[in-house]
Structure 1
């Protein structure tokens, strides 16, 4: 199914990168989601050799056609200096945190690219105690952790330290959680930084103690990027993405239930992921160029000027909003530079929507009583005649169980017009998730073996005593005597 969907998709033509960005945010992000879900589904097939030809063809189509078209079109017109300040990653703290009056917890999930953030949004959308607002930003270049995590801290200035290959925040190091905690505290002593895994390991009491008196909390999470860089099998990355979503959901629940009403989920960068083979012809060789520095797979930082076909550049000054003239070079396609780390199917650092577009999922939680409703059931089409002592009925559970639809039990039985029961009472458990086909509920009700008056009315009763729900459906009796 995923393969069929992808083979029918094309990358639309856009006038410029701004139009392409809008198209991706509203629609084209699903291409990358479908490919990721396809890769996950493939790893879960017991004998996937039967599907290897399809998989090979889809890998080539995604990488050579869809991804290649997306990245090349993006870089035909993209210029980092044209990115508006309201969607610049470097302005994250000012745009989304600085002016918020209440306590805010920000979850930074390494490599949680936009399409994964959209999946997280969809999963949280069933919770009627959460109000969601999906925003976004474009990363600086290179689109890597040591840039993204640092520029999203509160700061007055940013500086590239070429000798140590680090971004200084107000001339301070900010390469780990402890250093970032110190940077946060220079702006407010009640700010703090921690690892998301620590929250997941805390008891409810410990969470309350941790957040007590805090103003701004930055929580760092590294599930996707950690697996991406040490990738040995396809399964590791796609599974890590699924785990990342689940861990963030658990953290949000732990924070919400312990008094945090405002949470933001974002990332330092995205990534490109494809499973087609990467050949030498897919690589850009800089060996003939004279420059200082080491080429990484998707970028090169150097003070020197280069002119290489298929490569564009920006400056560190544009990335960090200063006057640094250091050059940052990147491929205009999904291709990689020839680098010490060799070839990889998971990469980031370069210029593409997949690498640069990050989600900013703004979540407001409320402590109001849930508006969730009990799951409803409906009797499927029937003849409305009692014509057997064993009545096989089929009910449809109208909606899938979620935070807005609660599992519910119904009692189902037959009565005569005098309200006397003429059958056993059967419990119908409306607790199904999934598609409509997964939510069909078959039941068998046994009719008492006795004499019946064909002129009387009989009823199927569906009731839920907890909610005072009761429905009666009229039936005719086609069993005259069973003695």
Structure 2
């Protein structure tokens, strides 16, 4: 049967659901074409949509979802095949936050499907899917990150070297005084470690569709380097951030006060005594009365969440699955704030984003640490503390050096406004600095858009008695999409028949996907339940 079906085209098979092996034939054909650099976006998209409502779809769901994301990536490539040639940094920033970020989403969703497929092996499809991975890596890593990263590195270099920031872009350091201090209502701030912009955009869309709320997303530039201790410090109230070396570790201070996790509550209270800093893992494990008592009487509540960055310490490949988990956890946290704490004004942001590529890095994707240390230890595997002279701290994507040092192949970035004895440097594009150990694929600290574009979701819950809700009730009420039977003849007189339905509304901000169960009635109007569900395409 498999051999016979192979003689037919994908279009001939797309609507046929008699046998499971038809899925293998369809997927084999489509994956082979993708591997041969033939990606028919319309054919893949229409085929996947047809197969979703067919029997035997579930065992092949991950493969179909994966090639659908390949089609999305190819569509993006066609739209931008000439490359990226924007002349101003603020222009690229705007384009990234409005459309370019979607390529990061397609890549993440593809690899989620690919990782799931590894848990349900199919002897006919596994190797083909791995060939598809090679095509995806070419599109994303070599074309998208390479082309966009090169354009971005060129146009932002002067501003970063001179000012340490991109002009005319909101800055992370301004967050507290521009977003919190100016609020006239109680503010809940959720900070999710390493939640990059595209993940936040997905969550904002889900919150808008699933809750009675007004949701918007904007962006701000992460402080350099885009790592946790600097990002978390910049989100706290402060007049000036400084650094000092304590026990050979670079420590970030807000107006002279340490910003390590155990001191953040103190820093918040120094600005506003009715403030509190909490951890997600702590409050989620508490009873309702216990956690409600913690926020009672507080005007500013910071809640720290760490699912994505924590997953990266276990395995690079666990990061994208952690993104999905983080979205689920944060949506639940929003519900807790609204239902238990009575919060209506919630800000969701991050300390930094991240870069992730699946394929192993080549030597040309790395730069040497030449110039970081004294000449006598440059080639040494073990660097003694007393030998360090030039480099204060470095990671895969950044280096903090003593003033006067210019390491090879790195871009200068003005460090903390130039008010320290140190200078900052970063690799161009998505290049990594050579270091011993693993964790080369998931990185942050540099100046790529994926690392530096920090999301800010503004979530306002709309009570039924609020004026905004009353004026725009139809806009904010979330309802499932509806279907109607299009067929004029409602009487079935033989065993061969077809029924045509149409979906009245598209899935949108206040219209969510739904699955309807179809039923038949006999001549007396008695309902005869169908054996099959008909899911609507999203």
TM normalised by structure 2 equals 0.72
For 1:290-345, what per-residue CA distance to the aligned partner results, in whole angstroms no more than 9, with x for missing partners?
Answer: 42334321111011334445321123232xxx622411010112111122445610
Partner of 1:199: 283
For 1:28-85, what per-residue CA distance to the aligned partner results, in whole angstroms no more than 9, with x for missing partners?
Answer: 0001111111111111112333311121232233212211222221111212325347
Say yes or no: does 1:254 pair with 2:322: no
Shift in CA distance, 375/287, structure 1 to aligned 2, threshold 3 Å: closer
Confirm or deny: 8 A CA contact 2:250 2:393 kept in the other structure: no
Partner of 1:435: 537
Distance in 1 (alpha carbons) for counterparts of 2:517 and 2:393: 68
Deviates more, 1:222-231 or 1:392-401: 392-401
For 1:98-150, what per-residue CA distance to the aligned partner results, in whole angstroms no more than 9, with x for missing partners?
Answer: 11011111000000010111011111111351101211100111110000001
Deviates more, 1:96-105 or 1:405-414: 405-414
Say yes or no: does 1:41 pair with 2:113: yes
Structure whose alpha-carbon radius of gyration is higher? 1
Say yes or no: does 1:316 pair with 2:415: yes
Q: How many residues align?
A: 425
Query: Pairwise mapping of residues 296-335 of structure 1 onto structure 2 (< 5 A)?
Result: 296-318=395-417, 323-335=419-431
Distance in 2 (alpha carbons) for counterparts of 1:182 and 1:431: 55
Query: Pairwise mapping of residues 9-408 of structure 1 onto structure 2 (< 5 A)?
Result: 9=77, 10=80, 11-45=83-117, 46-47=120-121, 48-78=126-156, 79-80=159-160, 81=163, 82-84=165-167, 87-163=170-246, 164-176=249-261, 178-231=262-315, 234=317, 236-258=318-340, 259-288=342-371, 290=374, 291-318=390-417, 323-341=419-437, 344-368=440-464, 371-373=477-479, 376-385=482-491, 387=493, 398=504
Task: List alignment gaps of at least 5 residues for structure 2.
Answer: 1-67, 375-389, 466-475
Distance in 2 (alpha carbons) for counterparts of 1:222 and 1:216: 20
Deviates more, 1:40-49 or 1:20-29: 40-49
Distance in 2 (alpha carbons) for counterparts of 1:297 and 1:366: 44
Relative to total residues, which structure has the larger strand share, 1 or 2? 1
For 1:349-380, what per-residue CA distance to the aligned partner results, in whole angstroms no more than 9, with x for missing partners?
Answer: 01110000010001111221783457634113
Task: List alignment gaps of at least 5 residues for structure 1.
Answer: 416-420, 437-483
Partner of 2:35: none
Relative to total residues, which structure has the larger helix share, 1 or 2? 2
Distance in 2 (alpha carbons) for counterparts of 1:412 and 1:202: 45
Say yes or no: does 1:2 pair with 2:2: no
Secondary structure, counterpart of 1:125 in structure 2: helix
Distance in 2 (alpha carbons) for counterparts of 1:264 and 1:201: 22
Shift in CA distance, 84/388, structure 1 to aligned 2, threshold 3 Å: same
